[in-house]
Amino acid sequence: MLRITRAAATGAVESLRVEGRLTQADLPRLQQTCAELLQNGGRLCLELSGLQFADRDGVATLRGLRQRGVTLRGASGFVEALLSDANG
């Protein structure tokens, strides 16, 4: 189960806390929430300290968000290794 919580904005940066398991079934909700916050050139930070697992599609989505300028912060060693894996 994935939980997405909007945190208080810090200046011009919106922040989302992403907790639980990020799987293909949860991607539309995460993508829509991020798209809404990024519209009109907004800046976004995802707090990933509560993210325990991400499947292949979840990792690809997080990588894509990072390429779009979204800051990914607080990822566990496991999630960070998935995001950094050159083969994925």
Q: What was the pLDDT predicted at 32?
A: 94
Q: What was the pLDDT predicted at 12?
A: 79
pTM tops 0.75, yes or no: yes
**Which domains, ranges and CATH numbers included, belong to the chain?**
2-84 (3.30.750.24)
- Cβ(4)–Cβ(38) below 8 Å: no
**What's the DSSP call for residue 71?**
E
Regions of the chain where pLDDT drops below 70: 86-88
Q: Give the torsion sign (CA, 3, 59, 72, 36).
A: negative
